[in-house]
Every structure is written in structure tokens, then in C-alpha cells.
Amino acid sequence: MLFDMDGVVTRTTSVHAAAWKELFDSVLADSRSGVGADTPPFDADRDYRLYVDGRSRGDGIRAFLTSRGIQLPTGSPEDGPDAWSVAGLGARKNDLFLTALAALPDPECVAGMLR
């Protein structure tokens, strides 16, 4: 049996929140989103808790985009990180997260296991 231990054994919440912020801010800045410059950016604390935390990646993407009046097609699991779809944004967020995680010093990654 395998359990999802992300955020339990290692402290990755801040890394996830930063990856979500980078993703969503880039979506809001993209002309394809159809939103204006006055649209509030992704708040890594408030918006993360309201729209992303505790949801599947796709549901979190849909919830946040809906909060800003943006609708995207679902896409497919094969969509790459450049696809303008929920699945594509999910792939992009995963790439951003993995890149940030790989850049962390080892003690940060294992701090949760040392307690």
C-alpha cells in the first residue's frame, strides 16, 4: 500500500505555494486569459488555502481560474506544460514544483523526517 506523504514527511507546502503562484501569475499575465491588468494576482496564502489546498491539481486549477473568470478546456493527461488547458497547466505546475524542489538544500527536504 502506498500513501501520498507529500507535505507529511517533508515540508513542501511553501514550495507548492510558490509553484502555484508562479503558474497562476503567468496565466493571469497571458493575453489568452482574457483578464485585465487590474485582476488581482495569485495570493500564495489566501488563494492557496481557498482554491488549491486539499483539492486535486485539476480541481485546484479550475477553482482558481473560475475565481478570476477564466474558463479553460480540461485537456487530456497527455497535454504538455505548454498546452492551454487544465491538464497542461497541471503539467506546468508539476514541472515548476519539481524544479524548485530539486533546488532545495538537503536539510530542508529531510527536516520533517528528523523530528
For 35, counting Cβ atoms within 10 Å of its Cβ (0-12 exposed, 13-18 middle, 19+ buried), the class is: middle
Q: Using CA atoms, how far apart are residues 12 and 26, in angstroms rounded to an integer?
A: 21
Active-site residue, from 4, 38, 45, 106? 4
Assess whether 6 carries a catalytic annotation.
yes
Three-class DSSP category at 51: helix
Assess whether 106 carries a catalytic annotation.
no
Q: Using CA atoms, how far apart are residues 105 and 1, in angstroms rounded to an integer?
A: 29
Q: Where are the alpha helices (DSSP H) in the chain?
A: 13-29, 46-47, 57-67, 86-103, 106-110
Catalytic residue numbers, as ranges: 4, 6
